[in-house]
Amino acid sequence: MSEKNYLLPAIEGGLGPCLCCGDTKSQICAERRIAVGFGLAKLTKDGETIWMEDQHDWDECMTVAQAEELAKADPDHDWRIVLHGPLRGMTYQRHGDTQWMLVEKNEGFA
């Protein structure tokens, strides 16, 4: 499967500026934990869950940089980070080395 076959267009409106990375309206920071605290946070590969926040403590949650290491070792797939929390939901898709771009946003739940 070619990477270009499944890339969704990046959109604006992500998590906002980051002290590490600067302006990240479309891209998620490598230092960010894949976690929402209350809700659903996960890493998927071709729609299959690879890692989920589930009952992990904050400091045990995977970072985007750790997800990148997994994706970099097996890049020809559709890798996504899903953050679905109260009042805000976002999906980031890997668009290339260290590029996790916002491709979907919603109102979350509650």
pLDDT tens digit sequence for 35-71: 998 999 999 999 999 999 998 999 999 999 999 999 9
pTM of the model: 0.87
Question: How many angstroms separate the CA atoms of 100 and 77, rounded?
Answer: 13
Q: Identify the CA nearest to 88 among candidates 102, 101, 76, 98.
A: 102
Q: Which residues pair with 33 in a beta bridge?
A: 63
Q: Residue 70, SS3?
A: helix
Domain ranges of the chain: 3-106
Which residue carries 């904050």 as its tokens?
A: 58
The CA R_g of the chain, rounded to the nearest whole Å, is 13
